Amino acid sequence: MRERIRLEKTIVTENDRLAAALAERFDRAGLLVVNLMSSPGAGKTALLEETARRLAGRLRMAAVDGDLATDRDARRIARAGMPCRQINTGGGCHLNGRQVAQAIEAYDLADLDILFIENVGNLVCPASFDLGEHRRVVVASTPEGDDKPVKYPVAFRRADCIVLNKIDLVDATGFAPAAFRGFLRDLRPGAPLLELSCKTGEGIDAWLDWLRAEREAVGRRTVPSPQ
């Protein structure tokens, strides 16, 4: 007898399970975890370098950094004062829960205020792989063009904060800030947009304020586990 069995079940992937376990661990430790995504070269590492220098001694921070090859980014971030573990993905185009779980073994999470996960430079795949983070930040930059949000909607739609870097190059690149803001408003209404330059330092304070506020928000939400 032919029959159709209705299921309507959401597909749970292996990474979804790993991400849920990481999220629980991050909540227990009481720190803020930020997943940074962008195209290659938008300035994720530069943003972390600036963050390390400016918040040194005020917040306890560490990072893990994903790239196909080399530990160049981890060394840059460490030189700026933030401990950083490099994850080399080989050919992998995004970080997954297993790689992050392994990399954070180096840290005592309870001793940190913020953990940054610098994803592999790629605006497509990282957006589909949760890493248990509290906040997703998408970094765009003016040389990439002002229509990035509509061309990569999956990444931008789920961003909790959008950083527009290299704002000092607006004139040189012909980037139209109003168009970018419009695309973003349509796709991710209400999310903060922070326009800044890691090179000149313009706008960086707003980013640091955002981080402090989110750190506070997550800290309040986290209930310390009973002794």
Q: Are 194 and 210 in contact (CB under 8 A)?
A: yes
Question: How far is C-alpha 7 from the geometric centre of its chain's CA atoms?
Answer: 34
Question: CA angle 105-124-212, nearest 5°?
Answer: 55
> Please, are residues 122 and 148 in contact by the beta-carbon 8 Å criterion?
no
From the CB of 46, what's the least distance to another protein, in Å? Answer: 27
- Encoded tokens for 27: 């909540």
Note whether 14 binds another protein by CB under 8 A: yes
Residue 127 binds another protein (CB under 8 A): yes
What is the spatial distance between Cα 128 and Cα 141, in angstroms, rounded to a whole number? 21
Interaction between residue 206 and another protein (CB under 8 A) = no
- Could you say whether residue 98 binds another protein (CB under 8 A)? no
Applying CB under 8 A, which of residues 58, 75, 79, 185 lies at the interface with another protein?
A: 185
Residue 154 found at the interface with another protein (CB under 8 A): yes
Beta bridge partners of 67: 88
What is the identity of the amino acid at 180? Answer: F
Work out how close the CB of 83 gets to another protein at its nearest, in angstroms, rounded to a whole number: 30
Under the criterion CB under 8 A, does residue 190 sit at the interface with another protein?
yes
12 touching another protein, by CB under 8 A: yes
Q: Which residues bind another protein (CB under 8 A)?
A: 1-15, 124-125, 127-128, 149-150, 153-154, 157, 183, 185-190
